Structure 1
Amino acid sequence: MSHLAENHAIAIRQFTPDDVVAAHLLSRAVKWRHRVEDWRFVARAGHGFVAEDTTGIVGTALCWKYGRGSGSIGMVIVSPERQRQGIGRKLIEKVLDELGGRTALLHATPPGEPLCRSLGFAEVGTVRQHQGAAFHPPLISLPPGERLRPLGGNDVTRIIDLASRASGLDCKPVMPVLLRESAGVALDREGELIGFALFRRFGDGYVIGPVVAPASNDLSRAKALISHWLSLNAGMFVRVDIPGDTGLSEWLDELGLPLVDAVVKMSRNGPLLMDPNVMEFAIGNQALCL
């Protein structure tokens, strides 16, 4: 076998913590802004695979299990020099095997959408990415009896419940990992936690999400939760990823957080069951779908 053929032979193996630095370099090669710490976070919360040849790692794909019924797929990257060679398909097939019969979610970019459809995924929504640094959040009034307060240790069980109902995912395995990386604010109604918003470092700045609140045509609760973090971090680079049906996109544009990208949310093996009384107004991580 020639040296060239050997160099292009692909082996797929499990992702390990030792792969984080190489995976980070791979993500920089495709112009993703993830830090090494962002990679460590998603790797701790999930499982995955790498594709490698004699030059090193040329592809990655991770997945996260939400109980026995659902999971998500993300961090699917193939080196620019090795794209269109079937590597991405092999990696996604491996994580699908890992997820078994679970309902699988992912966010697909336009180039990746045809591959996802060929693997049985169907569109179930969109996510709109807003970001910026020069914003001027207004003061948002909440309904009578409601207020914002810091999250406390006794709120974890309720947060997991609200996040699970809003997303349709069993968040018990992943939410505690996300909470350890985040600051949080609670939406409180006379002593009952009815919503929350998390805030953490990500990429070149910070991300707000998940943001969960009661589902309503009145967006004041979601706006108050988001504005809380914006007002505390004026001048910082902040990103907010919102489902396309929230009605918040124009408001974020007006605040100085313009729309910069949009991806398609896709599902395989059926839809998720979500509580219509609770809504996820922003997600904290596209790979986690949460």
Structure 2
Amino acid sequence: MPDSNKNDVIEYRAFTLDDVSAAHALTTSVKWRHRAEDLRFAARLGHGFAAVDSQGQVVGTALAWEFGAAAATIGMFIVSPEYQRRGIGRGLLDRLIAKFGQRMLLIHASDEGVPLCRARGFTRIDTIQQHQGAAFQPPLVSLPPGERLRPIGAKDTPRLAGLASRASGLDRSALLPELLDTASGIALDRDGELIGFALFRRFGDGHVIGPVIAPESPDQSRAKALISYWLALNAGMFVRVDTPLRYGLSTWLEGLGLPLVDTIEQMALNGTPSADETLAQFALTSQALW
């Protein structure tokens, strides 16, 4: 792209669903493995901004998703490589902070994005380890007595949303029904009570396992059983799992044949999520939707 573009006047406007194709082109330019359908699903649930150059080309995007009245997550935060180092990312982030900054804001920041987020007051709360692959050998994981895996039923939705909200510290009551429309699910049941679950859905080049919600245990056996279920059912398919460092699943996932391919910082502004300490979200829905 010619150097004259460095002199382009960048304008910012509301992101619309008509911008999804341009946003998908941006993800391709930075080697993200999203499908246009993945972006459309996320964009339909969120609000944000597009940065546009003097020719009307979308050269940057940033969206936010509201979870109840107290929190929002930030994602689809991309600037075209040809327009980076011009303050466009700062312009997008500042607009989101101005619009949603009365809430707790959460973001997954790349190495390039961490300094900007720190300058705006975000602090690190964890590191996300991204695992993906297709040549895996899932083991059979035993559950404690009285616990079993069963299919998710139509009447489970309120309980699933409650578990996801408690485990993440975010209000997931609006997101879970949307996810269940596009995902398959397996429930963790203890003597007739639903105590955890894992969803499996199309994403990028293959599928993603997440969210994975389960009670915490010293050996993470419940989370491992939920993840292994989907791996065993989809042997040979390309699968992705994004897991927080603090839960210690990375070595186990690598041993199954899902190598660690990336890490990204989990950061927060205006507080941190207040999650139920008896539950854990062992894998993300996505880096945008947490």
Q: With the length of structure 1 as denominator, give the TM-score of the two structures.
A: 0.96
Map 1:75-94; keep pairs closer than 5 Å. 75-94=76-95
1:219 CA drift (Å): 1.3
Structure 1 residues 17 and 142: alpha-carbon distance in aligned structure 2, compared to 1, 3 A threshold: same
Map 1:226-241; keep pairs closer than 5 Å. 226-241=227-242
Please state whether the residue corresponding to 1:262 is helix, strand or coil: strand
* 2:24 counterpart residue number: 24
Please state whether the residue corresponding to 1:218 is helix, strand or coil: coil
* 1:63 counterpart residue number: 64
* 2:197 counterpart residue number: 196
Number of equivalenced pairs:
287
* 1:38 counterpart residue number: 38
1:182 CA drift (Å): 0.8
Q: Write out per-residue CA displacement over residues 125-144 of structure 1, whole angstroms, 9 at most, x where no aligned residue.
A: 11000111000101111111
* 1:47 counterpart residue number: 47
* 2:157 counterpart residue number: 156
* 1:123 counterpart residue number: 124
Counterpart-to-counterpart distance in 1, 2:103 and 2:174: 15
Please state whether the residue corresponding to 1:160 is helix, strand or coil: helix
Counterpart-to-counterpart distance in 1, 2:54 and 2:90: 20
Please state if 1:72 is matched with 2:68. no
* 1:224 counterpart residue number: 225
What amino acid is aligned across from residue 197 of structure 1 in structure 2? A
Structure 1 residues 224 and 5: alpha-carbon distance in aligned structure 2, compared to 1, 3 A threshold: closer
Asked whether the equivalents of residues 30 and 80 of structure 2 are also in contact (C-alpha less than 8 Å), the reply is: yes
Counterpart-to-counterpart distance in 2, 1:143 and 1:242: 23
Please state whether the residue corresponding to 2:246 is helix, strand or coil: coil
Asked whether the equivalents of residues 210 and 283 of structure 1 are also in contact (C-alpha less than 8 Å), the reply is: yes
Please state whether the residue corresponding to 2:263 is helix, strand or coil: strand
* 2:10 counterpart residue number: 10
Counterpart-to-counterpart distance in 1, 2:40 and 2:206: 17
What amino acid is aligned across from residue 210 of structure 1 in structure 2? P
Please state whether the residue corresponding to 2:166 is helix, strand or coil: helix
What amino acid is aligned across from residue 225 of structure 1 in structure 2? L
Q: Which runs of 5+ in 1 are unaligned?
A: none
Asked whether the equivalents of residues 123 and 266 of structure 1 are also in contact (C-alpha less than 8 Å), the reply is: yes
Asked whether the equivalents of residues 161 and 172 of structure 2 are also in contact (C-alpha less than 8 Å), the reply is: yes
Asked whether the equivalents of residues 65 and 173 of structure 1 are also in contact (C-alpha less than 8 Å), the reply is: no
Q: Write out per-residue CA displacement over residues 45-79 of structure 1, whole angstroms, 9 at most, x where no aligned residue.
A: 11111000133100000100001111100110001
Please state whether the residue corresponding to 1:139 is helix, strand or coil: coil
Q: With the length of structure 2 as denominator, give the TM-score of the two structures.
A: 0.96
Counterpart-to-counterpart distance in 2, 1:218 and 1:145: 17
Counterpart-to-counterpart distance in 1, 2:237 and 2:120: 39
Structure 1 residues 11 and 194: alpha-carbon distance in aligned structure 2, compared to 1, 3 A threshold: same
**Identical columns (%):** 60
Counterpart-to-counterpart distance in 2, 1:187 and 1:111: 38
1:175 CA drift (Å): 2.0
What amino acid is aligned across from residue 77 of structure 1 in structure 2? I
1:7 CA drift (Å): 6.6
1:5 CA drift (Å): 7.2
1:6 CA drift (Å): 9.9
Counterpart-to-counterpart distance in 1, 2:283 and 2:40: 22
Q: Write out per-residue CA displacement over residues 137-180 of structure 1, whole angstroms, 9 at most, x where no aligned residue.
A: 01111111111011111111011111111111011122222221
1:94 CA drift (Å): 1.3
Asked whether the equivalents of residues 214 and 279 of structure 1 are also in contact (C-alpha less than 8 Å), the reply is: yes
Q: Where do 4+ consecutive residues of structure 1 move more than 3 Å? A: 4-7
* 1:248 counterpart residue number: 249
Counterpart-to-counterpart distance in 2, 1:34 and 1:14: 22
1:26 CA drift (Å): 1.1
Counterpart-to-counterpart distance in 2, 1:100 and 1:272: 15
Counterpart-to-counterpart distance in 1, 2:7 and 2:110: 29
Q: Which runs of 5+ in 2 are unaligned?
A: none
